[in-house]
């Protein structure tokens, strides 16, 4: 059996969490690494995990947190390797932490009792949503606005007037879009959002040495051969090799890169859903089957970006966790800076603040120059909280451009109302594709192909393992050996 296993050849498109999880699982189970080629478009491995050294620690340009621990395979791998930070128990958050204040651009602050009331009402809506959304035909946004309207009409808000409550709701909307990776909560399916299953436990767990350690762990699991040599996967990765064309219905699959054409019995596609949305019709020949194309079209894929500002020294106090920005609709500029969530402090980085932005505003922000972005962000901070401190201008900006990068075209997937209308789900994205002789030629992994944990690294890893197991099953027979 192992003999036929070692005969089939495989190309993995993408050296991110799912691609490398698949490769390491295959090699663990006896698949000859020399029969695997991993094509990576970037000049680095990692995909949407991108840990960058900074100062005496690191910053995460991509995946930031391990979301929960129960049933979270990434948490298990990291914890077993002793790589989870356990010395910090405070909840790190893009928004709701108690030491993060909420302010209008003109410096007006939301008082603690107002914030407390708002959070309580919002939480009660979240509680209700778990029960209500299954029967809710419309978008998540329409649900929240409907419930919020009920609270406004019922007089639930006693510490603020209607317009301030709505400004806070607008902020909650921006926060939800960052969590979902959606452009607008009117595009997130209400009932579809129930497909997402959380892992219980701290949602903002961090790695001691950064997320990219995951790849060391995945590769380390690869067994040694009987003569003691470590089978090498790293050697199987071709960096700087964007794929231009995959010809999948004429015998062996042909994968065309700029400098070279590769052939294999099967191709595991792990690029982001964003890339598939952008150019699947050009990438695959013949066109993918109708159902797959509809899944690619229907399932949502948004943009979430981070902006790090570096200061010569912190101008804030150690108790200050950050500020969230409220936008007064009467004073909105219509530019992307109306939509920036706010800035918060960064663990292990005393001179940095991190800001989050999503959706069309994030894409606009990506188009501005570094200097423009630095200037606008700094102005927001100075106007909202600068007068409380001796504010100083930042000296440097570091930011992500997940949408503009052709190798990603965005950040992560969500269940859109369009996917509900088209009746397409993660299983449709995950479905392998057979050639006209019935041989499986294309397989799909990646966060967007996970039924319940999409948008997460643990989904990426699980789907990589899922496809590795499928490949093992498929190659157990002599299906491909005749050709080799
Ligand atoms: C609502 O309250 C805020 C803060 O007290 C105040 O600045 C604003 O003018 C009020 N808006 C209306 C429409 O009353
Ligand atoms: C889905 O979202 C779009 C954009 O907001 C909206 O135009 C459309 O009506 C929504 N469809 C459903 C079924 O809610
Ligand atoms: C299917 O099998 C036939 C006979 O072996 C072969 O001629 C043909 O090229 C195959 N088609 C594909 C798509 O592999
Ligand atoms: C592909 O070819 C170009 C131009 O000849 C070269 O600059 C580049 O390094 C090559 N890439 C790889 C992965 O070999
Ligand atoms: C950003 O710039 C590109 C290239 O000029 C353009 O195609 C795109 O529409 C712009 N995006 C936004 C959101 O302004």
Nearest-CA residue for atom 10 of ligand 4: 259
The owner of tokens 């190659």 is: 475
Provide the pLDDT for residue 482. 36
Nearest partner of 66 among 81, 55, 76, judged by Cα: 76
Ligand 3 center from residue 477 Cα (angstroms): 19
CATH code reported for the domain at 5-47+209-301+417-474? 3.50.50.60
Q: Which ligand has the shortest distance to the CA of 339? A: 5
Question: Which residue among 246, 264, 437 has the greatest number of ligand 3 atoms within 8 angstroms of its CB, and so is best to mutate?
Answer: 437
Could you identify the atom of ligand 2 that is nearest to the CA of residue 142? 14
- Cβ–ligand 5 contact at 367 (below 6 Å): yes
**Residues 422-461: pLDDT tens digits?**
999 999 999 999 999 999 999 999 999 999 999 999 999 9
Provide the pLDDT for residue 349. 93
CB 35 within 8 A of CB 10: yes
What average pLDDT does the chain have?
A: 91
Please give the structure tokens belonging to residue 57: 């620690």
Please determine, for residue 4, whether its predicted confidence score (pLDDT) is greater than 60. no
Q: Which ligand has the shortest distance to the CA of 238? A: 4
User: Is the alpha carbon torsion for 322, 327, 333, 336 positive or negative?
Assistant: positive
- Cβ–ligand 4 contact at 259 (below 6 Å): yes
Number of H helices, E strands in the chain: 14, 20
- Cβ–ligand 2 contact at 177 (below 6 Å): no
What is the DSSP-derived secondary structure letter of residue 416?
B
- Cβ–ligand 1 contact at 329 (below 6 Å): no
Q: How many Cα atoms within 13 Å fall on the side-chain side of residue 6? A: 8
CATH code reported for the domain at 51-93+303-399? 3.90.660.10
CA distance 410 to 303: 5
Ranges for all domains in the chain classified under CATH 3.50.50.60 = 5-47+209-301+417-474
Q: What are phi and psi of 16, to 5 degrees?
A: -100, -165
**Residues 182-201: pLDDT tens digits?**
999 999 998 888 888 988 88
Q: What predicted TM-score, i.e. pTM, was given to this entire model?
A: 0.93
Ranges for all domains in the chain classified under CATH 3.90.660.10 = 51-93+303-399
Provide the pLDDT for residue 348. 87
Question: Which residue among 158, 164, 327, 329 has the greatest number of ligand 1 atoms within 8 angstroms of its CB, and so is best to mutate?
Answer: 164
Nearest partner of 65 among 223, 162, 277, 207, judged by Cα: 207
Could you identify the atom of ligand 3 that is nearest to the CA of residue 251? 14
For the chain, give the percent of residues with pLDDT over 70. 93
């Amino acid at each position: 059996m192992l003999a036929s296993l070692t005969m089939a050849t495989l190309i993995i498109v993408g050296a991110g969490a799912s691609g490398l999880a698949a490769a390491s699982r295959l090699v663990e189970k006896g698949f000859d690494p020399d029969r695997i080629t991993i094509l990576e478009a970037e000049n680095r491995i990692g995909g949407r995990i991108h840990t960058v050294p900074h100062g005496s620690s690191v910053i995460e340009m991509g995946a930031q947190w391990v979301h929960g621990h129960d049933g979270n395979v990434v948490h298990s791998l990291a914890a077993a390797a002793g790589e989870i930070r356990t010395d910090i128990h405070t909840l790190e958050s893009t928004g709701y932490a108690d030491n993060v204040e909420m302010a209008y651009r003109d410096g007006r602050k939301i008082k603690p009792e107002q914030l407390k009331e708002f959070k309580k009402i919002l939480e009660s809506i979240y509680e209700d949503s778990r029960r209500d959304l299954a029967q809710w035909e419309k978008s998540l946004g329409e649900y929240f606005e409907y419930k919020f309207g009920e609270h406004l009409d019922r007089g639930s808000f006693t510490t603020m007037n209607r317009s301030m409550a709505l400004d806070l709701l607008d902020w909650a909307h921006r926060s939800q879009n960052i969590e979902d990776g959606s452009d607008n909560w009117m595009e997130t399916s209400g009932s579809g959002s129930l497909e997402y299953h959380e892992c219980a436990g701290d949602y903002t767990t961090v790695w001691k040495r950064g997320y990219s350690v995951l790849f060391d762990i995945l590769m380390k699991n690869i067994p040694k051969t009987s003569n003691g040599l470590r089978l090498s996967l790293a050697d199987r990765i071709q960096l700087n090799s964007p794929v231009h064309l995959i010809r999948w219905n004429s015998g062996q699959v042909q994968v065309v890169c700029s400098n070279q054409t590769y052939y294999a019995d099967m191709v595991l596609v792990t690029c982001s859903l964003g890339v598939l949305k952008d150019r699947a019709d050009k990438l695959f020949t013949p066109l993918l089957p109708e159902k797959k194309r509809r899944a690619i079209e229907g399932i949502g894929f948004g943009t979430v970006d981070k902006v790090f500002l570096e200061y010569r020294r912190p101008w804030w106090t150690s108790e200050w966790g950050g500020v969230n920005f409220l936008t007064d609709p009467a004073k909105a500029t219509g530019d992307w800076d109306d939509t920036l969530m706010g800035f918060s402090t960064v663990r292990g980085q005393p001179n940095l603040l991190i800001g989050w932005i999503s959706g069309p505003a994030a894409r606009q922000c990506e188009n501005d120059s570094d200097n423009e972005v630095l200037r606008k962000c700094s102005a927001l901070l100075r106007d909202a909280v600068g007068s409380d401190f001796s504010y100083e201008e930042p000296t440097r900006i570091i930011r992500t451009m997940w949408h503009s990068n052709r190798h990603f075209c965005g950040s992560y997937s969500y269940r859109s109302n369009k996917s509900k209308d088209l009746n397409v789900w993660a299983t449709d994205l995950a479905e392998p594709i057979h050639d006209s002789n019935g041989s499986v030629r294309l397989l799909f992994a990646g966060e967007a192909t996970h039924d319940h944990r999409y948008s997460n690294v643990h989904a990426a890893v699980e789907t990589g393992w899922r496809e590795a197991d499928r490949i093992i099953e498929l190659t157990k027979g002599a299906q491909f050996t005749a050709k080799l």
